[in-house]
Amino acid sequence: MNPKTGWVQEFWRIVVLILVAWAAGAVLDQVYLFVLLALLAYTLRNLYNLRRLAIWTADPQFAEIPVHFGLLGDIYSKISRVALRQAQKEKRLTALVNEYTASTSALPDAAVALDASGRIRWFNDAASRLLGLQPAKDVGQPFLNLFRNPEMADFIKRADYSDMLQTTAPGNSERKLEVRLAPYGNEQTLLLAQDITERLQHERMRKDFVANVSHELRTPLTVVSGFIENLQIDEELNTERLARPLDLMAQQTARMSRIVEDLLLLARLESDTNRNRHDEIDVAGLIRSAADEIHSLADDVPRIECEISSSRRLRGDEKQLRSVVTNLLVNAVNHTPADGAIQVIWRDQGPQSFLEVRDNGEGIAPEHIPRLTERFYRVDAGRSRDRGGTGLGLAIVKHILQHHDGRLEIRSRLGEGSQFVCRFSAARLLQ
Amino acid sequence: MDTSNLKHHYSQQFNSELEDIRSRVLGMGGLVERQLELAVVSLGDRENALAESVVYNDRDVNACDMDIDERCTMILALRQPTASDLRLVLAVIKTTADLERIGDEAKRVAKMVARASDLDRESNLFGKIVHLGEQVQHMLHRALDAFARMDVEAAIEVVGEDLNIDSEYESVLRQSMDYMMQDPSSIPVVMDTVWAARSLERIGDRCCNISEYVIYFVKGKDVRHASLEQIRNEFEG
């Protein structure tokens, strides 16, 4: 209805009312009284309508519109239109919220929203399943009061959003979780926990399998290589025709047993994560003896220079650290021509110390560098195998350094040589 | 959760102090839970290195104990708390003491593992003690959860669970006696396992105590020496 017509109708209604009252008053000679009474009646009717309006607006959606005529009818229809729109909007929003809650509760990972002081604001169904949170009771509770693992408290305090934490579920040490944090909104944090029990089981199965296979291969290999040695010694059999095949067999079985040994070493390194020994290692002495050893093994190796400027010792497993130095040196020797030069450096820089092996050999193309520590990754498959590498050396180095809170950094330029840098943190160093 | 009364103090500082000691007790609880877990694992896997780390880390638990006691003393002296605030501080002090003792018992179990390396791990007796240890671990976890939520019903459940622990302990004892009678040369080893079982059983009792402090804080009623039946009639009926 046009708002103007409402006003016009109302106006004509008052005019007609007054005219009628006037006419009636003129007949009975009481004009003022009648007009007054008419206006009084009009006011009373308006008051009554206002009251009806007030009652009706309490729930305007479903009730019938009581008045269709005049200014009031106008107001009624407007209000009911607004109410209808509101109801539709509400319905849409409710549907949206429902859909949102349904989708978050369908998430397989636990999600918990924490406020700035670490209290729980909200969590999904998976969080009550995986973390044992109780829907009605635990909102508003400090999260760490319920998830009391000491490492969890450290992890949340550190608030390193790029990091992940592997931990066990509260009250169920069989279930392993991987927890991540993400900041959002106003100093709030979203905590996500994923159940990785199965994944860890698979990983363990894979590692066990490799370790078992390597172990089982060891005995037959020993037998085979023993007999090959016997055959080589036997003058009757070691004729012109058989000499070369026997040599090759001896070489390849030796290589195979090196691979098996390296695989077993890797398996061992992976299985005991934080139970390594704490010897005080004389790194300088270790470097010198490793260099001497390599010099004594072959004649056509490049010169190895030891530059030792640090007197620090390292806390760790001496055997493992020796294997780091030997592996890096053997790699350098294999990839440097005999007239090249190799430097081994042990130096301090601030609180950290660096063990570096530099060569001026062929170098490594940049696309290979990130993958060098993968098992059996080879830059040039044919060549490194000729030199007797197992393809596991750098993987072993990386693992050993992890055990010693160290890091391996590789820098190289094609044609100019490579640098392998082991960085050790202050906590492991002794003056 | 009955923490509403922690929120209406005029002094914001006082509120946060009360919240803080509560969180600290639970943090200490987490540490003790870890100690107990590692002690039981070291018992099951015969890992001496692990057992030694449990013995070593007990000092962290003791440090927590002293720190929380100190804070509670400060609150008592400076704030003179009354009613539920006072009950909270008292419950915290007592819970801390019990947690410290649980830590000591875990250390005792770990010491036994570190010492008796020739224990026959295949024996049935051993599996039983590990099982007892896992049950006690679960009980400690639930007692601390009840403390975090100040949940009386959960606390009563924990008190009820102690019956299972006691019967499990009895059966370990009976079996140990059988072993000792059959083979007197095994007595030193079996005695060690009996002491470990005894320690675990004591941890169960201390978990009951913690649950009783929860009831004390929420309901203001001391139920320490009441029977389980009495407690149930009082708060569930």
Which residues are paired to A281 by β-bridges? A314
Q: Which of B2, B145, B151, B153 to mutate to test binding with chain A, by most A CBs within 10 Å of its CB? A: B145
* Secondary structure of residue A294 in the 3-state scheme: helix
Cα–Cα distance for residue pair A398/A377, rounded to 1 Å: 14
Contact A278/B at CB under 8 A: no
Cα–Cα distance for residue pair A40/A215, rounded to 1 Å: 110
Which residues in chain B are closer than 8 Å to A152, comparing Cβ atoms?
30
The answer to whether the beta carbons of residues A372 and A410 sit under 8 Å apart is yes
- Closest to B105 measured CA to CA, from B211, B207, B175, B210: B207
Higher pLDDT, A235 or B26: B26
Cα–Cα distance for residue pair A290/A322, rounded to 1 Å: 7
Cα–Cα distance for residue pair A242/B17, rounded to 1 Å: 87
Tens of pLDDT, residue by residue over A38-60, are 899 989 988 988 888 888 877 76
* Secondary structure of residue A117 in the 3-state scheme: coil
B61 to chain A: closest CA residue: A150
**pLDDT above 60 (res A18):** yes
Among A137, A138, A150, beta carbon nearest to B30: A150
Tens of pLDDT, residue by residue over B110-121, are 888 877 655 555
Bridge-based pairing of strands A352-359 and A341-349 is antiparallel
B150 to chain A: closest CA residue: A137
Nearest Cα of chain A lies from the Cα of B168 at a distance, in angstroms, of: 20
Contact A275/B at CB under 8 A: yes
Tens of pLDDT, residue by residue over B93-135, are 999 999 999 999 999 988 888 776 555 555 667 788 888 999 9
Contact A171/B at CB under 8 A: yes
At B10, is the pLDDT very low, low, confident or very high (cuts 50, 70, 90)?
low
Contact B111/A at CB under 8 A: no
Query: Can you give the pLDDT at residue A49?
Result: 85
Q: What mean pLDDT is reported for chain A?
A: 85
The alpha carbon of B176 is separated from its chain's Cα centroid by a whole number of angstroms, namely 25
Cβ of B149 within 8 Å of Cβ of A171? The answer is: no
Alpha-carbon dihedral sign for residues A116, A121, A127, A133: positive
**pLDDT above 80 (res B195):** yes
**pLDDT above 60 (res A274):** no
Cβ of A150 within 8 Å of Cβ of B19? The answer is: no
Among B19, B27, B137, beta carbon nearest to A148: B27
Start-to-end C-alpha separation, chain A: 93
Cα–Cα distance for residue pair A168/A174, rounded to 1 Å: 7
Tens of pLDDT, residue by residue over A218-245, are 889 999 999 998 888 887 777 778 888 8
E-strand spans in A268-393? 279-281, 303-308, 313-316, 341-349, 352-359
**pLDDT above 70 (res B1):** no
Tens of pLDDT, residue by residue over A20-41, are 988 988 888 888 888 899 899 9
Q: pTM here?
A: 0.67
**CB-count burial class (<10 Å; 0-12, 13-18, 19+) for A343:** middle
What is the ipTM metric for this complex? 0.81
Buried b (16+ CB within 10 A) or exposed e, A28-57: eeeeeebbeebeeeeeeeeeebeeebeebe
**pLDDT above 90 (res A127):** no
CA distances from A152 to A291, B33, B44 (A): 45, 13, 25
Tens of pLDDT, residue by residue over A295-345, are 887 777 888 888 888 888 888 888 888 999 999 998 888 888 888 889 999
Which residues in chain A are closer than 8 Å to B26, comparing Cβ atoms?
144-145, 148
Mean pLDDT of A263-267: 87
**pLDDT above 60 (res B6):** no
Which residues are paired to A354 by β-bridges? A347, A423
Mean pLDDT of B51-67: 89
**pLDDT above 80 (res B31):** yes
Higher pLDDT, B103 or A385: B103
Which residues in chain B are closer than 8 Å to A171, comparing Cβ atoms?
138, 141-142, 145
CB atoms within 10 A of CB A413: 12
Cα–Cα distance for residue pair A5/A389, rounded to 1 Å: 98
Cα–Cα distance for residue pair A39/A22, rounded to 1 Å: 11
Query: Can you give the pLDDT at residue B7?
Result: 52
**pLDDT above 60 (res B60):** yes
Contact B22/A at CB under 8 A: yes
Nearest Cα of chain B lies from the Cα of A150 at a distance, in angstroms, of: 6
At B4, is the pLDDT very low, low, confident or very high (cuts 50, 70, 90)?
very low
Cβ of B148 within 8 Å of Cβ of A141? The answer is: yes
Among B49, B148, B149, beta carbon nearest to A275: B49
* Secondary structure of residue B94 in the 3-state scheme: helix
Contact B49/A at CB under 8 A: yes
- The percentage of chain B sitting over the pLDDT mark of 90, rounded to a whole number, equals 36
At B3, is the pLDDT very low, low, confident or very high (cuts 50, 70, 90)?
very low
Query: Can you give the pLDDT at residue A272?
Result: 65
Contact B36/A at CB under 8 A: no
